[in-house]
Amino acid sequence: MSDVDASPSTAIVWALARDVRVALRSKGELGVQLLFYVIVVSLFPLATSPSRELLATLGPGVLWTTALLASLLSLPRLFAADFGDGTLEQMALSPRPLAALVSGKIAAHWLTTGLPVVVMAPLLGAQYALVAPVLGTLTLSLLLGTPILSLLGAVGAALTLGARGGGSLLALLVLPLYAPVLIFGAGAVDAVRAGLSATPHLSLLGAGLLIALVAVPFAVAAAVRIALD
Amino acid sequence: MINWFRLSSPVSFYPIAGAWSYAFAVLAALLAGVGLVVALWIAPTDATQGDAYRIIFIHVPTAWMAMFIYVVMAGWSALALGFNTRLSAMMAQALAPTGALMAALALWTGAFWGRPTWGTYWAWDARMTSTLILLFLYLGVIALRSAIEDPRRADRACAVLAIVGAVNVPIIYFSVQWWNTLHQGSSISLTAAPKMAMTMLAGILIMTAAAWCYAISVVLARVQSIIVERERGAGWLESLIDWRAEGTT
């Protein structure tokens, strides 16, 4: 009998803890990714105008689109280093289920790159003259939406392992798949601004998150195995 | 019973693909000839849009094909992953450029149709926007294919992407429609034409059949090229090509 605990939950927790630890050892890199979000968001008023009405109109879209770009920018770090030094291959060979291991990695990716964006959003939203209830919805929609971005992005990150063209190829693969998340996320904030309920948008985001949580790890595991061949 | 698995070998499929490609090209030309006569001469001028509506005879078939080819491509991709058959992956590879072409044509003709009828080339209508995203999905598959050296790895990576995309297409369509109903300005109403004359419908259906035959013909010809590219050096191919070269001299 093997004494290796091959249950999915231990595999998820192990991969999550490992990736968070690795990420926290290069805090600078994490900080730079968050700064990217802050800087891009701060550029839009310079390109348009500082008028409060215009900024309040643009705000939800800008904050959401930039969250998409920030997620995209952080995707290569999800698998590339582990692919390069052979860790990913060892994970695929281990008796633990690969889908569980990649789930842990994706969760760690979201905790270190998605969650900071969510936490930062109310502050940046205030720059865009968004008021308290709108900021609450913005944060909630990002909280539900950014994990979907990490999950869908992981498919693209795994598929482009070892492919030429790196970042721009990843953008072409992943950004069209992000479109529904953007629509429901930014739509939720727009609905509150228009005096409507954001519940339908948020419910759809939540449903999307649940489906992605269940289905995507298997697609990512398949993509990782293809890359390792 | 026909042994379908015999056809899944590039060796036995290569000559069949050539023959079918030729047959469907002839069929496509005939259907397009008839369809254009119906479209340009027989179908009546529209009461509100005048003759500008006639671009519908290209626009609608290409839009249908763009969506349908993606489903077919995902189907071949699923077969390629499930049975690990080389030819299924080659079919998926051959379908992508035709699908992208159809999506681009649908957008292009849509813009030309939109100008005289709605007064604008582009209106962020739900169908236009989702066709645009569909075009991006096609381009993603093509780009991923060209970014991976090893064709067998590219086959499977593209298959996963096509299937993930196919799952997403209905979600994208739904989300874009949702977004559109909330944001649609009142100036442009894009409801379907009220009542279509019989000849208009016939023209659209004949042109759709022509687009089908064109797509089948082109895809089979492209599969032949892919087989030649991938199997270069294989004995059966060299003998076939030598025999062709002798035939022409």
B174-189 average pLDDT score: 66
pTM of model > 0.80: yes
The answer to whether the CB of A98 falls within 8 A of the CB of A224 is yes
In a domain, B6, yes or no: no
pLDDT (tens digit, 9 = 90+) per residue, A30-83?
888 899 999 999 999 999 888 888 998 899 999 999 999 999 999 988 998 899
Among residues A205, A200, A203, A199, the alpha carbon closest in space to that of A185 is found at A205
What gap in Å lies between CA B104 and CA B110, rounded to an integer? 10
For B171, nearest residue in chain A (alpha carbons): A180
For A181, nearest residue in chain B (alpha carbons): B175
Distances (CA, A) of B180 to A71, B35, B63: 25, 33, 19
In a domain, B59, yes or no: yes
**Mean pLDDT of the residues in chain B:** 84
**Amino acid found at A121:** A
- Please, is A109 exposed, middle or buried when counting C-beta atoms within 10 Å of its C-beta (0-12, 13-18, 19+)? buried
Tell me, what's the pLDDT at A104? 95
Joined together, the tokens standing for residue B202 give 């016939």
What gap in Å lies between CA A88 and CA A82, rounded to an integer? 5
* Residue B230, C-beta contacts closer than 8 angstroms, at least 6 positions apart: B10, B86, B90, B151
Q: Is the CB of B160 less than 8 angstroms away from the CB of A169?
A: no
Q: Is the CB of B171 less than 8 angstroms away from the CB of A180?
A: yes
Digitized pLDDT (tens) for each residue of chain A, 229 residues in all? 455 666 888 899 999 999 999 988 888 888 888 999 999 999 999 998 888 889 988 999 999 999 999 999 999 889 988 998 999 999 999 888 999 999 999 999 999 999 999 999 999 999 998 888 899 999 999 999 999 999 999 999 999 998 887 778 999 999 999 999 999 999 999 888 888 888 999 999 999 999 999 999 999 999 999 998 8
- Give the model's confidence band at B189: pLDDT under 50 very low, under 70 low, under 90 confident, else very high: very low
In a domain, B79, yes or no: yes
For A187, nearest residue in chain B (alpha carbons): B179
Choose the weakest-confidence range: B45-59, B135-149, B160-174.
B45-59
> Number of folded domains in chain B?
1
What gap in Å lies between CA A19 and CA A8, rounded to an integer? 16
Residues on chain B touching A79 (C-beta within 8 angstroms): none
In a domain, B248, yes or no: no
Question: Could you tell me the residue range of the domain that residue B164 belongs to?
Answer: 18-45+54-186+195-232
Question: Considering CB atoms only, which of A165, A183, A226 is closest to B160?
Answer: A226
Residues on chain B touching A173 (C-beta within 8 angstroms): 140, 143-144, 161
Joined together, the tokens standing for residue B60 give 């609608």
Query: C-alpha angle B34/B221/B109, rounded to 5°?
Result: 50
Q: Where are the alpha helices (DSSP H) in chain B?
A: 4-7, 10-37, 56-83, 86-118, 126-147, 151-183, 198-230, 235-248
What's the ipTM?
0.87
Question: Considering CB atoms only, which of B137, B160, B163 is closest to A176?
Answer: B137
- CA quadruple B42, B45, B46, B47: dihedral positive or negative? negative
In a domain, B178, yes or no: yes
In a domain, B249, yes or no: no
Q: Is the CB of A172 less than 8 angstroms away from the CB of B174?
A: no
